[in-house]
Structure 1
Amino acid sequence: MCGIAVIVCGVRIELSTLSSPSEPPFERLQFSVEDVKSALSQRGPDSVGEKKILLQPTCAQEPVTLSFFEATEEAYKLENTTTSGELHFIGSTLQLRGTTPIIQPLVDSSGNILAYNGEVFGGIELTSYDNDTEVLLKSLAKANSLVPDVLSMIKGPWAIIYWQESSRTLWFGKDAFGRRSLLVHWPTVEDPRFLLSSVSPASSVANGSGLDSENGDSIHRFWEELPCGVYSMSFRVSESGVCIHGEVTKHEWRNNMWKELIEWERNLVLPRPEEDLSMSSIQEEKDNAISTFSGFAQTVLVVLKESVRRQTSLHSIFQGEKEVVPVAVLFSGGLDSMILAALLDQCLDPKYEVDLLNVSFDGPNAPDRISAKAGIKELKQIAPLRRWKLVEIDADLAKLTIETKRVMSLINPADTYMDLNIGTALWLAARGDGWIHEESDNQEDSQRIRYKSNARILLVGAGADEQCAGYGRHRTKYRNGSWGALDKEMKLDMQRIWKRNLGRDDRCIADNGKEGRFPFLDEDVIKTLLDIPLWEIADLEKPSGTGDKKILRQVAKLLGLHEVAKMPKRAIQFGSRIARESNRKNFGSNRAANQASAGSLRFNAPRDHWLREHHRRAESEIGGNERALQALRELIIFPFRYPLEARTLGLKVNFNTCAWASLFRFHFSVFFFSSLQWSRGLLLYGPPGTGKTSLVRAVVQECNAQLIVLSPHSVHRVHAGESEKTTSHLLFFIDEIDVLCPRRRGEQDVRIASQLFTLVDSNKPSSSAPRVVVVASTNRVDAIDPALRRAGRFDTLVEVSTPNEEDRFKILQLYTKKLSLDPSVDLQAVATSCNGYVGADLEALCREATISASKRSVDSLILTLQDFKIAKSVVGPSITRGIAVEIPKVTWDDVGGLKDLKLQQAVEWPIKHSAAFTKMGISPMRGILLHGPPGCSKTTLAKAAANAAQASFFSLSCAELFSMYVGEGEALLRNTFQRARLAAPSIIFFDEADVVACKRGEEGSSSNSSTVGERLLSTLLTEMDGLEEAKVYIINEQELHRFYKMVLISFCFEGMLVLAATNRPYAIDAALMRPGRFDLVMYVPPPDVEARLEILQVHTRNMRLGEDVDLRRIAEETELFTGAELEGLCRESGTVSLREDIAATAVFNRHFLIAKKSLKPALTVEEVEAYSSFRKLKRSDSKPVPVEKGNVSSSSSVFGFRVVVEVWCIELSVACYWWKLLLKPD
């Protein structure tokens, strides 16, 4: 047995050829090569070796090729002209064969490298003096491209890493049942290395924070079990010579026997009726006469004995013969281990002792210890000449705690408490450090002495329960679905045993320098049991101890083990006590301990992991809104869960430590100490449907608190005093508080608000858990009485905004987790297309998709992508209702010409590649102004840009903004901007922008229209600068240590863009024509010849043109025609053709000539020159545009910690004074 590993660096691995590549993990764990060597040396204590190969692109010839050479000191001194890759092979050895010592990895004269962890029990010819790894290397060297053929011949467990020098190919894999561990780390963006290893280095688990993972996610996802099979990795260099590529391919098994065993199809599953009658009529006779079952049982006995003989044969080794115990048995006294011990006695020389390793956590009273003692008595009866040693391995919980982290690194990537329990029991048993009873003629004089087993081979009964229906779930499946259901469950067990059991068991056993061997998983044993009728394998109509594992009970009787043949099966016999005792300690109750033992709990949870599993987590009910969840937990859960900590330490205050240092300088210590208290109220605000009420209910369910909901209809009463009495009770959640406590106008409003103020104020500040916790929600935060929002009442305001793309994906996952989705459904793509959808909208979307699927087929309710498209046409974002919002269907292909004016960089890039802008420190554009003559596709360009970016498109007609009512236009403008922010990414499009953004104080304009226009312009300037948003956000945060961040955020229209179009650019106010508002002013000229040709092609692509139509000639003859006029020309030509003949099917050149005579261009040369002159003026104008007083420019200096911010809000004057003190050290 060996420990093997390879680390591939500097190679870009391609997994596209794999049929189902595993989803790559995301963690990056830090460990060194020495950590890998240390972990492998535990498996192979006899020797440790390593070998390196460098991959160097050779650019001296064309095409670029790869050079492979051994990594020596001379090789590292070579000049590296390009990036090189490296293959680092590591191996350790536990040598059980061969007359000469070997060091892995083996290297032959041809440069082939082999790291082999396994045994060759057949398929390749060996003598008792041969080392199987050396023989295998010779066979592989001769195979050339037939490596899978050689590996398919091997009988026995194996995992392999092989470098074939002739083909420059890396081969790796493991046998079809995964009886040897081989972990893989597929390359990720965070860690591009490709790693294979028999075991995870212990430091990689220790560095990952062990049991106390901060977010509860498994750190073990760095590794995964390599699926069984043979793989190859071929290398090539990119055409540029910069990157080395490695392509991974999985190969088919060449041996038909392996294919049959992997498919695990049993021919005889359902008994025929006559067999059922026969079974019932001679049931008593079969229990008393061995002859009735000796046929199948004898066959199984023969192949099992041969399996044990092959796996316990003692070969000549270079150390010479030593009088030590060569083989041990993992022994619980159960059916499987008793059969193995009895067969071992028949195969092993009588001069050798046999160690029977038994673990107990209850001392002599453990069920496993009792059955083991009974079992050894029966073994002595059938094999009196053999010296059996029952090694009693006693462990206590203190030792379990010390060794837990070691076992965690071994069972990695398994991560449940059941894995930890079984792994710990296996690890302790394999260590073999226990007690034995010294044999004496007088049993009363026998002494219990320390003993450590030195056996290097450990027989394990894995695979017996899976193949012979030994688990309780097998009986359940049989009762619910008869023989067919039982067969399917057994097949599932066998096909996943490599992932669930064997890799974990191999790592835990091998860590103590022992090799675990599994006789029940021998190829011949599996095939024999598969050929036997299922009703002969198990008869689950009979009680436990008779019908389960029926075939093995018959084998036990043939071996003379009559007592154990009647012993009932116990759940998780080996290691069951560790499951009970350790889990009772961890979880505090038998019920929780049993659930952990069953594998339902993961061990890498935080300190309150039992609470996370046994109480419903809020994240299982809602998606996104992490900030609001955290605020609710701090308000509701923390005071009740950590009252002592609160009294001892006080509560974290809102301001940072630097700010408090400044306060102490001004002797504000009284205010400081009075602020050490739990918050008493929290106000959630945001658009309808974002999940405010659901958030509160989910957090309350998480902590099992009592929830009392108050809503306006349950509080308002007709008679005086009734409403006030209702609010005298405990309050938890007030829904729609803006209706209950609006700005006080009427008498009832005053009464209810005053009573609520009194009750909230009566909840005295304290560091202990508050008696009353108040959470309120509203859609209209400005409509609430201001007195409610002061400190001491609703201390915290949290916005629950529309979910972003990631949150929408999580919400869709929650709503579809119980639905069957077609493989074509990409929930991530659906989430991306649902801009502006809130949680309620997404719920309605899934409901409509389900209805669509049910209409299509009631029997198989499988949701397809078409169902979601239909649902999306029915359900739109609720925040945009009442406003015409859509993603235009106009694409760039619909825009003829204007190649230099397509807005990909200005519109698409900030939305689709926002991370790149952030990385470069570039703020995206806030506004783009398109100007040019009428009909030159300015509006079409805007719509195409919105479609390309998949952004919500808000189109505002400036005529809508002019209203006879004062303030109505400004309100509509503010509302549109607010909704656009919620529906981000979004584009607001102003057509005829000169109407709303006209110059202020122009002569000749009417007083009324001028006043309205100036108010609209001021509102537009304010919205584009984001001043109102910044003011509200900072006041609500009340966190000065975040002020710097808020200033920057308030000036970044993330995911939002203002597009405007005008044919009167001179009329637009100069305040808009500067960077920070309209960052880009683009001239959209009339189309030139090539552009006109493209426009004609666009508008005639659905028309059938005659052969005499020459679109280029028409384009040349239509100078000064705009895009709109060219579209009209094409339409009119078609109309002319129909007037000529209503049955016409084509348009000819004469039709275009007739249409052209009736259409004249509206533009003149003088007008085009006037538009062009404005463009030239803008380009030549390099003077800085003055910033208006009261506005904060996005270019304000905030670096070097010297900030002077002009604040126009008196409420922030004190905050800004503190801020200047903090950022101006001199």
Structure 2
Amino acid sequence: MPDDLTLTVTQRPAALDARRGIVRLHPEVMAAMAVNPGDPLRLTGARSTAGIAARAEPGASKALLYADDLIIGNLGMRDGGQVTVTPIPVVEARRVTLTGPSEIVANVSPEMLRLALLGKVVTTGDDVSLLPQDVLPAADHRSLVEAARRSIANRVGYLWTSTLLSVVGVEDADAALVTMDTVVGWQGGAQSARSGAQAHDAAGPPATRGDAPASSDPETPPPSIDDLPGLRAQAQELTELLDLGFHHREVLGRLGTTMSLGVLITGPAGSGKAALVRAVAAGVGATVVPLWAPELAALANDAAAGRLREAIARLGGSTPTVLLISDVEALAPRAEPGPLATVFRQMLAEAVRSGAAVVCTTSRPESVDPGLRSPELLSVQLAVPLPDAAMRREQLVVLTRGMPLAEDVRLDEVAGRTPGFVAADLGALAREAGVRAALRQKEANAPSVTMADFTAALDVVRPTSMAESSLEVAKVTLDDVGDMAEVKQTLTESVLWPLTYPDTFARLGVSPPRGVLLYGPPGCGKTFLVKAIAGTGRANVLAVKGAELLSKWVGDSERAVRELFRRAREAAPTLVFLDEVDALAPTRGQATDGGTADRVVAALLTELDGVEDLRNVVVVGATNRPDLIDPALLRPGRLERLVYVPPPDEQARAAILRAAATSVPLDDAVDLDELGAGLIGFSAADCAALIRESALAAMRESLEAATVTAANVENARQRVRASLDPAQVAWLEAYAETHQPA
């Protein structure tokens, strides 16, 4: 086979590859071209670009090159065009210069930009995205890529997934691989330092090296404390600490004591931790020396230690100075700390002992080395909370201060529909609403932002805490659920009230229900009920099937449970839906899996009713076999409300048929009430399947059919059978009788 091939390019819709510079080939084609995963390829169409090779699925076509929309655009072609594919040697890029939207240039430092491009092959004139290349990362760069993903998302908000940058130039190469030694920079702006041992000498003066994201640059005006609603208590405490340490140490001397200015600030990503430090520092007349821990961790140990020494040396001048280290878990990880972590702790201890002010921030306190919290290091700890509805409204007032809002804009309603949003997310929401208003009123002399703009923005802006969730919430509510009035009332009281009216529960001095178990025959609407609750839009939804959390590796299952509830707390108010919960929490002492199930049950019980309070989080479990669930999970304080979802009766079946047939053109002769009366033993899923099969029967008769006739429905009736097992239904009804509240 020749070195180059002509293939047909086709767009690969997989989100995993999207805009990451990846192209996929059939494994046999790669073997014939002597190409390995991760090798660069020259792609020539209407113009020339490059990509990283990866294997396609075994069932893929050997004649196709699978690429994303970005690579197809860089080729100057459309889906289905002919592309010449040629292997090229790996050439490391010495210097890459880019340009992009002003808001991206202002918020993404060269170091962040380099991590976003790490492992990509770039060509002059290409468009590239900020999405890190996490499909084929080098083993020693995997943690850096993950850190880049979190930090860029925090800085830029939802824009990071859609923004495209232009490659202005690639020095001394036509197509080259971005590595940690590549100098990456903005056109006419800051550039990154090299990562190797030469970084210390080659980087230039501290003010031009890009030590931190541009938004932390000293020239950027610090925010006012008044512009940080919800953080005034933390700002007051930090102000008192820094003011005493910087301006009134003589009082401490007269009292015969000392103080430590080591502070650890924890809180959700994007909640304003760095902004809090900058605002307080400005208030006490101090300057801020920012460091981004993931960027230091990416350097060679000697270079990173040199950068740390430089930053700490700047704390000893006559001007009060605060060293701000963001995402400190990258320098001091809880798991597998390396030599750099030891050096960092030593330097931090020396700086704090000398009286310097060092503030570290993290959104993942569980991943930080516990030793950092010792009295001689970070002795003061401040927590930035997730904003509640009232706090979100205050933040929206600040963020929309310069916006001409229409009279119909109700910020209270926007705040109520943004559970789990932090300040950065609300800023992204306000920007998106403004963009939509501008697109709609390009020629207007006095444009304004309407409630419709905010509603449209809510459809695309997701909270940072839900970035890893791909759940699509259905546009249905409990009002769309026919019949089951008693079940809907119980769910409203047990699930919606605790998430919507937490203040009422607090005022009455009672704790809201912690969880609900839905049980009933298969196909009777348990999952649909949860979708209807989620469709109210008043809570974030984390959905997981019980078996998805189980792993054969020791400790992985328990960690998955802890991670699930950690995300739920961060995104509160949150609805956690555990489908097939009997697979996750079977009765202990009966499993033969080496104790994994028992440990998972213990972890689940601890999360639901342990020492750490589960605030504004409601758990809903669903099962067909409630008898298989560990009894400890069903006691008060856990899944305490047991709700039986019965099979539909005659009226309910007719209502389900009507709902399923909303978009189906039924002939006037089709009587759904009569049809529902005859569907004995049919579940809700069976009724929906009957309508679907009726439409298919009409298509079998004629692809030009305009309506579904009674004959088509009767034909489908012969094909679709009742799925309910009478014995199972009788057993579940008996179980409901013995377990219903007195």
- TM-score tier after normalising by the smaller chain length: 0.5 to 0.7
TM-score by structure 1 length? 0.39
- Structure 2 partner of 1:1013: 597
Matches within 5 A, 1:841-990: 841-860=425-444, 861-902=447-488, 903-948=491-536, 950-990=538-578
Q: 1:635 to 1:937 in 2, by over 3 A?
A: same
**For 1:690, which of 271, 274, 294 is the aligned residue?**
271
Of 1118-1127 and 725-734, more deviation after overlay is shown by: 725-734
Q: Alpha-carbon deviation of 1:963? A: 2.5
Instruction: Say if 2:340 is the partner of 1:748.
Output: yes
Q: Aligned partners of 1:645 and 1:723: how far apart in 2?
A: 34
- Structure 1 partner of 2:174: none
**For 1:737, which of 318, 323, 328 is the aligned residue?**
328
Q: Alpha-carbon deviation of 1:616? A: 8.5
**For 1:795, which of 367, 379, 404 is the aligned residue?**
379
- Structure 2 partner of 1:1093: 654
**Which structure is richer in relative contact order (CA contacts within 8 A, separation 6 or more)?**
2
Report the residue type matching 1:1105 in the other structure.
Answer: L
Q: Alpha-carbon deviation of 1:883? A: 2.0
Report the residue type matching 1:791 in the other structure.
Answer: P
Q: 1:1154 to 1:711 in 2, by over 3 A?
A: closer
TM-score by structure 2 length? 0.64
**For 1:719, which of 289, 294, 302 is the aligned residue?**
302
Matches within 5 A, 1:518-597: none
Instruction: Say if 2:627 is the partner of 1:1078.
Output: no
Q: Alpha-carbon deviation of 1:910? A: 1.8
Matches within 5 A, 1:613-624: 618-624=224-230
Q: Alpha-carbon deviation of 1:639? A: 5.1
Q: Alpha-carbon deviation of 1:1077? A: 0.6
- Structure 1 partner of 2:14: none
Q: Alpha-carbon deviation of 1:907? A: 1.5
- Structure 1 partner of 2:716: 1155
Q: Rg bigger for which structure?
A: 1
Q: Aligned partners of 1:734 and 1:788: how far apart in 2?
A: 13
Q: Alpha-carbon deviation of 1:641? A: 6.6
Secondary structure, counterpart of 1:871 in structure 2: helix
Q: Aligned partners of 1:1133 and 1:1085: how far apart in 2?
A: 25
CA deviation map 1:1167-1194 (0-9, x unaligned): 21111121123248x9xxxxxxxxxxxx
Q: 1:756 to 1:717 in 2, by over 3 A?
A: farther
Q: 1:759 to 1:639 in 2, by over 3 A?
A: closer
Secondary structure, counterpart of 2:686 in structure 1: helix
State whether residues 680 and 792 of structure 1, in contact with CA within 8 Å, keep that contact through their aligned partners in structure 2.
Answer: no
Report the residue type matching 2:302 in the other structure.
Answer: H
State whether residues 908 and 949 of structure 1, in contact with CA within 8 Å, keep that contact through their aligned partners in structure 2.
Answer: no
Q: 1:1172 to 1:834 in 2, by over 3 A?
A: same
Q: Aligned partners of 1:1153 and 1:1025: how far apart in 2?
A: 52
Q: 1:1145 to 1:794 in 2, by over 3 A?
A: same
Report the residue type matching 2:460 in the other structure.
Answer: V
CA deviation map 1:856-912 (0-9, x unaligned): 233444222233233333321111112224544221233222121112111122222
Q: Alpha-carbon deviation of 1:642? A: 6.6
Secondary structure, counterpart of 1:1007 in structure 2: coil
Q: Alpha-carbon deviation of 1:1062? A: 0.4
**For 1:819, which of 389, 403, 406 is the aligned residue?**
403
Secondary structure, counterpart of 2:657 in structure 1: helix
Q: Alpha-carbon deviation of 1:645? A: 7.5
Report the residue type matching 2:450 in the other structure.
Answer: T
Secondary structure, counterpart of 1:883 in structure 2: coil
Report the residue type matching 1:748 in the other structure.
Answer: L
State whether residues 723 and 752 of structure 1, in contact with CA within 8 Å, keep that contact through their aligned partners in structure 2.
Answer: no
State whether residues 475 and 535 of structure 2, in contact with CA within 8 Å, keep that contact through their aligned partners in structure 1.
Answer: yes
Q: Aligned partners of 1:1021 and 1:887: how far apart in 2?
A: 27
Report the residue type matching 1:797 in the other structure.
Answer: Q
Q: Alpha-carbon deviation of 1:678? A: 4.5
> Superposition RMSD on alpha carbons, in Å?
2.7
Q: 1:805 to 1:641 in 2, by over 3 A?
A: farther
Report the residue type matching 1:1018 in the other structure.
Answer: A
State whether residues 518 and 620 of structure 2, in contact with CA within 8 Å, keep that contact through their aligned partners in structure 1.
Answer: yes
- Structure 2 partner of 1:637: 243
What fraction of aligned residue pairs are identical, expressed as a percent? 34
Secondary structure, counterpart of 1:708 in structure 2: strand
State whether residues 661 and 691 of structure 2, in contact with CA within 8 Å, keep that contact through their aligned partners in structure 1.
Answer: yes
Q: How many residues align?
A: 507
Q: Aligned partners of 1:1179 and 1:719: how far apart in 2?
A: 67
Q: Alpha-carbon deviation of 1:1127? A: 0.8
Q: Aligned partners of 1:1154 and 1:741: how far apart in 2?
A: 67
Q: Alpha-carbon deviation of 1:926? A: 0.7
Q: Aligned partners of 2:545 and 2:477: how far apart in 1?
A: 22
Q: 1:958 to 1:617 in 2, by over 3 A?
A: closer
Q: Aligned partners of 1:850 and 1:1158: how far apart in 2?
A: 53
Q: Aligned partners of 1:821 and 1:640: how far apart in 2?
A: 43
Q: 1:1131 to 1:800 in 2, by over 3 A?
A: same
Q: Alpha-carbon deviation of 1:936? A: 0.5
Matches within 5 A, 1:835-846: 835-846=419-430
State whether residues 741 and 749 of structure 1, in contact with CA within 8 Å, keep that contact through their aligned partners in structure 2.
Answer: yes
State whether residues 266 and 384 of structure 2, in contact with CA within 8 Å, keep that contact through their aligned partners in structure 1.
Answer: yes
- Structure 2 partner of 1:1067: 628
- Structure 1 partner of 2:606: 1022
State whether residues 685 and 781 of structure 1, in contact with CA within 8 Å, keep that contact through their aligned partners in structure 2.
Answer: yes
Q: 1:1117 to 1:806 in 2, by over 3 A?
A: same
Q: Aligned partners of 1:703 and 1:806: how far apart in 2?
A: 29
- Structure 2 partner of 1:1107: 668
Matches within 5 A, 1:288-437: none
Q: Aligned partners of 1:892 and 1:703: how far apart in 2?
A: 53
Q: Alpha-carbon deviation of 1:753? A: 1.5
Instruction: Say if 2:294 is the partner of 1:703.
Output: no
State whether residues 500 and 538 of structure 2, in contact with CA within 8 Å, keep that contact through their aligned partners in structure 1.
Answer: no
Q: Alpha-carbon deviation of 1:1058? A: 0.3
State whether residues 997 and 1013 of structure 1, in contact with CA within 8 Å, keep that contact through their aligned partners in structure 2.
Answer: yes
Matches within 5 A, 1:1115-1154: 1115-1154=676-715
Instruction: Say if 2:625 is the partner of 1:625.
Output: no
State whether residues 887 and 952 of structure 1, in contact with CA within 8 Å, keep that contact through their aligned partners in structure 2.
Answer: no
Q: 1:888 to 1:922 in 2, by over 3 A?
A: farther
Secondary structure, counterpart of 2:578 in structure 1: strand
CA deviation map 1:379-399 (0-9, x unaligned): xxxxxxxxxxxxxxxxxxxxx
Q: 1:1170 to 1:759 in 2, by over 3 A?
A: same
- Structure 2 partner of 1:829: 413
Q: 1:1118 to 1:701 in 2, by over 3 A?
A: same
Instruction: Say if 2:363 is the partner of 1:757.
Output: no
Q: Aligned partners of 2:606 and 2:448: how far apart in 1?
A: 49
Q: Alpha-carbon deviation of 1:938? A: 0.3
State whether residues 245 and 261 of structure 2, in contact with CA within 8 Å, keep that contact through their aligned partners in structure 1.
Answer: no
Q: Alpha-carbon deviation of 1:633? A: 1.8
Q: Alpha-carbon deviation of 1:638? A: 5.0
- Structure 1 partner of 2:197: none
Q: Aligned partners of 2:625 and 2:665: how far apart in 1?
A: 38
Q: Aligned partners of 2:664 and 2:474: how far apart in 1?
A: 23
Structure 2: state its 5+ residue gaps: 1-220, 316-320
CA deviation map 1:357-401 (0-9, x unaligned): xxxxxxxxxxxxxxxxxxxxxxxxxxxxxxxxxxxxxxxxxxxxx
